[in-house]
Amino acid sequence: MPQGLEIREARAEDIPGILQTYREAGIGAGIAFSVEEALAQLERMSVGSPVRVYAALLDGRVVGTYELFVMDNMAKRGRRSGVVEDVAVRPEYQGRGVGKAMMQDAMERCRHAGCYKMMLSSNENREAAHLFYESLGFERHGFSFRIDF
């Protein structure tokens, strides 16, 4: 983990940096929140959603972010699983261990929550990301399907 890196649940003051990180990473292009909208969304999520947003900060600056959804599974006798979404690291901090630290943080949060597995999906064209996830112990599993509304 990079010296001085802090990973914690996102706070209101992190929102501008999180939105900038998404922009720089190419996530949410064309549908991004304004700061005010994102603040309202973070508030809604903190009250009634099992999804949490995490910020990775270096010297007080947001340099990465991810979202984690922990759910109980009826088919697995209530066993929990975790889903990671929207992993983003500012380009100038990529390759410095920020992404690895965030994924290790997500794995530890899942272990602490009693999850039996953690999953993520990745665009099939993001080969560098696939190699990164495999280097952390993730294995390709099944297929991912989606439908847009």
Band (73; pLDDT cuts 50, 70, 90): confident
pLDDT score of 27 more than 90: no
Q: State the average pLDDT for the chain.
A: 91
- The two beta strands, 80-89 and 5-9, are unpaired
What digits encode the pLDDT tens for the residues 7-17? 999 999 999 99
Q: What is the DSSP letter of 124?
A: T
pLDDT at 103: 96
Residues 20-33 have a mean pLDDT of 84
What local confidence, expressed as pLDDT, does residue 78 receive? 78
pTM > 0.85: yes or no: yes
Q: Transcribe 110-140 into DSSP letters.
A: HHHTTEEEEEE---TT-HHHHHHHHHTT---
Which residue ranges form the domains of the chain, and what is each CATH number? 5-135 (3.40.630.30)
